[in-house]
Amino acid sequence: IAETELVMSSWLPPRHPIVVGAMKPWAEQIEEVTEGRVTVRVLTSPLGAPPAHFDMAAEGVADITYGLHSFTTDDRFQRSRIGQFSFLGDDAVSGSKAFWNVYANDLDAQAEHEGVKLLGLFVHGPGVLHNNVRRIETVDDIAGLKIRVPGGYIADLMADLGATTLFMSSGEVYEKLSRGVIDGVTFTYEALTAFNLTDDLQYSMRVPGGIYNTTWFVVMNDDKWNEISAEDQAAIEAISGEAFAELVGAAWNAADEAAIEEIQAEGIEIYDAPAPVLEAIKQAAAAYEQAWIDAIAADGYDGAAALGAFRAQTGVAY
Amino acid sequence: MTESLIGFAVLFGLILLRVPIAFAMAAVGGIGFALLRGWEPAWALTGQVAFDTTLSYSLSVIPLFIFMGNVLAASGVAHGLYAGADRLFGRMRGGLAMASVFSCGGFSAVCGSSLATAATMSKVAMPSMRKFGYDDRLATGSIAAGGTLGILIPPSVILIIYGLMTETDIAKLFIAGVIPGIIGVLFYLFAVRIAVAINPALAPEGQHSEPMTRSDKIGVFAVLGLFLFIMVGIYGDFFTPTEAAGMGAGAAVVIAIALRAMNLRAFIEATLDSVRATAMIFAVIIGAELFTKFINLAGLPDALAGIVLDLEMPAWAVIGIIILIYLLLGCVLESLSMILLTVPVFYPLMYDLPFQSELLQDPENALIWFAIVVVVATEISLITPPVGMNVFVLKGVLRDVSLSTVFRGVLPFWIADIFRLGLLITVPILSLWLVNLM
Amino acid sequence: MEELRKRFKSGPPENGGLEIGPILDWSVGIGAATILFCLVLITCVDVVGRYILDTPLTGAFELTEVLLAALVFLALPLATERREHVEVDLLGLLGPRWNTLFSAFAGLFSAALLATFSWRLASHAWKAAQDGSVTNALEIPLAPFGYLASLSCLFCAFIAFLRGIQPPAHERRAKTEEGIL
Ligand code: NA
Ligand code: NA
């Protein structure tokens, strides 16, 4: 008989690769490693809107939640933004592990996740710039393109490069793209197929380590965490953190690989950013990285070293 | 499972004590959640749900589609529809009742709500049916029933809400409603014919109808034009279904101004009616959100799916039970609360049921077909005693008619609806043909 | 629809509570109506703008979201005052005394619930203010909308409370005007 049943609120569709390939397997692992003393029930539908999921764990609406740090527009997760920059990782396993190692260890991620136990941190596969107007050869080709961006660093970067940036929920992208409201989108490969965008896109420009990324958390309600015995806590921690980063990264990678095949079959051209474009991205990116480094330096953190460590772990050279 | 059933029982108790449905759902949901997870989480959930629900881009279509219908109602185009339908059917016995049904179907094409359709058409069609000596039963029944078409023929606020709940493409849901809606009109026309054949006293001989005035013709063109504007806009990829609501409302205002059929006062009234209806609908949505979060936490959808799969029940039996539940709930509840309460429980089954029909084995098709079946089943609730909202609308307009008269009047249409429901369940292609053409 | 209302115009005393309908119409009613016009305008400008001028309206998405929240909560007192929330009148057949009793219960119950909502929304808004929650692109602060929602619910609670302690003497069948779907 389970001593503790944990309720996980999951807002991604039940068949999303992350839910199927990481959240549910991890929930089962928790039951295994605690020999059934702790079980996790993944709810079919979420207990709140996606952006509410961090607070939901803190307030105990659910026991375990996951979500994006960028859901909140306030400054709560300032140091997490290390995972949003360009040139961070070419696959989700190395990226997620580096993100966990650097953010959790060097940048004290737990301190920014106030009121919850931080169990997992991860990123998705490398972000790509997709559009249906032209193959981007120079920076001038970006000018005037209407690009949907998720907000944050990539929104600023695309605006710097001359694009008109638009915000909408990811579910709206299909309708807006097929009606010509937007010309393109910054997305992973996986999202391209998940949102049925292959018919409406033609060019996917790739940047070493991704043009952007998005950072995610997995957290547990503090009180619930403290209910669990020290032995079981240790068992859960052993399959969380870096191990979870590997699990979820592999799920993203598999989804990206399947998506790339489909994208290529649909005749979308995937190409590397030409040198002048890459140079412009590097310059703009450096300014944002510096601003972030300065901002967290005020709290006594070495952002430059953290970024260096991140890239050393993922092996991205640019 | 047990917790969920207790929750439903308490909910119905409160509803019987005349607590507004929205507040009853919110209270049972919130307290149920607190009992399962503690008060602090329940308090947090309450504020979060109440606020986040209203902060929604997709739900903005609700006030906009309602506003569109109300502006058109106030601008008098419904009279043109009725006069036009009268030209088609006027010469037959019961022709005015058939004209009512037909023009209800027409007005549904520019109005997202069933009650607004019934309220609008009753003001147009009732006076002439009374003048020509129609039995009150047939007269009121045809309008109360015809009004139910409002949520099946696009645009439809209910189908939008279903689409958001189940992540189904709204453009596809809209197009799926067209053929079942037309079938609804045809069945209702039949129902009138059969009713007057059985009891000729219900309606006088056919009359020579008055010629349509110029403004009547303009009204027909306005409705037809606006419907085409919305459909071409959505399916020609000019704007999204969400944007269609705003564009339709804008076009309705332009039409109303161009027709000069509406003064400022009527315009303000139409607007105030729309915002009040919006507040009322959101209250129901917020209440249902809280209630379904409790149900979800209590594990009802999972338990239900488990039972159905364990017993290896055939798909038709499961669908049959679900429809029976809808018809029973329909005695007391109206369509919006019913859909909000039950769809989250039932729709996951559409992924797992072993459908015989090859069409339905694709879960997306199954969800669209289920939407149409559920909407028709809940439409019936609007004319099912003892609590039938459309019947109450008619009763509100005609204070000298008794409720039982209207309920007896809708009986032929109620029977027609049951036949239509059976047809739509057994022949899924009727709902899916246009979808698969897209 | 207005004709429907006139038929019931024998009025708020029949429904219990105060004669504040016209005041509400001319205050929050006009506010909500204005927001509704804005919602129509935003969509039309956005759609027409992108075809004619090739420039979509940045932030139309977010403006629509916050305006919808404001519209709903401005209009809530109107619907509550007119008693337009859907209710089921089944036991009304039991007779006028029971009717009054049910009305009183429903009024007080609704008041308690709405007051709870008001409290929770205020607390939610306060938290949003502390966190500095703003919308993604236009950075519109969310807290004021939460406070608006809280005030609105408080006001509705007051209306429902008055109806509870002063239930209508002779209840008519529940008003069922247009609006429900
Ligand atoms: Na309609
Ligand atoms: Na009913």
How close is the nearest chain A Cα to the Cα of B114, in Å? Answer: 28
Ligand with smallest separation from the Cα of B331: 2
pLDDT at residue C19 tops 80? no
Question: Which residue in chain C is spatially nearest to B118 when comparing CA positions?
Answer: C178
Q: Do B70 and C86 touch (CB under 8 A)?
A: no
Residue whose C-alpha is closest to residue A6's, from A22, A25, A30, A35: A30
Write the residue in A167, A172, A180 that is nearest to C136 by C-beta: A167
Cis peptide before B386 (omega within 30 of 0): yes
Residue C181 pLDDT = 42
Q: Do A167 and C132 touch (CB under 8 A)?
A: no
Residue C4 pLDDT class (50, 70, 90 cuts): very low
Average pLDDT over residues A141-160: 92
Q: Check: CB of residue B195 under 8 Å from CB of residue B101.
A: no
CB-based contact (8 Å) between C133 and chain A?
yes
Cα B331 to ligand 2 centroid, rounded to whole Å: 4
- Bridge-based pairing of strands A184-187 and A146-148 is parallel
- C98-146 residue pLDDT tens: 888 888 999 999 999 999 999 999 999 999 999 888 887 788 999 999 9
Ligand with smallest separation from the Cα of B65: 1
Q: Do B282 and C72 touch (CB under 8 A)?
A: yes
Residue whose C-alpha is closest to residue B296's, from B288, B308, B307: B288
pLDDT at residue C173 tops 60? no
User: Which residues in chain A have their CB less than 8 angstroms from residue C58's CB?
Assistant: 164-167
Q: Do A61 and B45 touch (CB under 8 A)?
A: yes
Question: Which residue in chain B is spatially nearest to C82 when comparing CA positions?
Answer: B276
Residue A87 pLDDT class (50, 70, 90 cuts): very high
User: Which residues in chain C have their CB less than 8 angstroms from residue B50's CB?
Assistant: 117, 120-121, 124, 149, 153
Averaged confidence pLDDT in chain B: 90
Regions in chain B scoring below 70 on pLDDT: 208-209
For chain B, the structural domain boundaries read 2-437
How close is the nearest chain B Cα to the Cα of A152, in Å? Answer: 20
Q: Do A49 and B45 touch (CB under 8 A)?
A: no
Residue B184 pLDDT = 95
Averaged confidence pLDDT in chain A: 94
- B4-21 residue pLDDT tens: 999 999 999 999 888 999
Question: Which residue in chain A is spatially nearest to C130 when comparing CA positions?
Answer: A74
Average pLDDT over residues A252-276: 95
Residue C174 pLDDT class (50, 70, 90 cuts): very low
Which residues face A117 on adjacent strands? A220
Average pLDDT over residues A147-153: 90
pLDDT at residue A83 tops 70? yes
User: Which residues in chain A have their CB less than 8 angstroms from residue C120's CB?
Assistant: none
Residue C12 pLDDT = 41
Residue B205 pLDDT = 81
Q: Do A72 and C133 touch (CB under 8 A)?
A: yes
Residue C11 pLDDT = 39
Cα B167 to ligand 1 centroid, rounded to whole Å: 20
Q: Please report the DSSP string for chain A in residue order.
A: --SEEEEEE--S-TT-HHIIIIIHHHHHHHHHHTTTSEEEEE-SS-SS-GGGHHHHHHHTSSSEEEEEGGG--SSTTGGGGGGGSSSS-SSHHHHHHHHIIIIIIIS-HHHHSTTEEEEEEEE-SPPEEEESS----SGGGGTT-EEE--SHHHHHHHHHTTPEEE---GGGHHHHHHTTS-SEEEE-HHHHHHTT-GGG--EEEE-TT-S---EEEEEEEHHHHHHS-HHHHHHHHHHSHHHHHHHHHHHHHHHHHHHHHHHHHTTPEEEEPPHHHHHHHHHHHHHHHHHHHHHHHTTT--HHHHHHHHHHHHT---
- 3-class SS of residue C65: helix
Question: Which residue in chain B is spatially nearest to A58 when comparing CA positions?
Answer: B41
Residue C92 pLDDT = 63
- C27-79 residue pLDDT tens: 889 999 999 999 999 999 999 988 887 777 778 888 999 999 999 999 999 99
Residue A109 pLDDT class (50, 70, 90 cuts): very high
How close is the nearest chain B Cα to the Cα of A257, in Å? Answer: 25
pLDDT above 70 coverage of chain B, percent: 100
Average pLDDT over residues A285-292: 96
Instruction: Name the range with the highest mean pLDDT among A174-178, B40-44, C165-169.
Output: B40-44
Residue C79 pLDDT = 92
Q: Do C131 and A72 touch (CB under 8 A)?
A: yes
Q: Do B336 and C181 touch (CB under 8 A)?
A: yes
CA dihedral A168, A170, A173, A174 (to 10 degrees): -150
Rounded distance between C-alpha atoms, residue B268 and residue B298, angstroms: 45
Rounded distance between C-alpha atoms, residue B178 and residue C69, angstroms: 32
Q: Check: CB of residue B140 under 8 Å from CB of residue B398.
A: yes
Least trusted range by pLDDT, from A36-45, A106-115, B403-412, C86-95: C86-95
Rounded distance between C-alpha atoms, residue C139 and residue B133, angstroms: 63
Write the residue in A146, A167, A169 that is nearest to C137 by C-beta: A167
Q: Check: CB of residue B153 under 8 Å from CB of residue B111.
A: no
- C74-101 residue pLDDT tens: 999 999 988 888 887 776 667 778 888 8
Q: Please name the chains neighbouring C, where neighbouring means 3+ C-beta pairs under 8 angstroms.
A: A, B
Cis peptide before C22 (omega within 30 of 0): no
Ligand with smallest separation from the Cα of B144: 2
Average pLDDT over residues C3-12: 36
ipTM of the complex as predicted = 0.89
pTM of the model: 0.90
Q: How many CA atoms lie within 13 A of B73 on its CB side?
A: 33
- 3-class SS of residue C178: strand
Token couple for B236: 């020609």
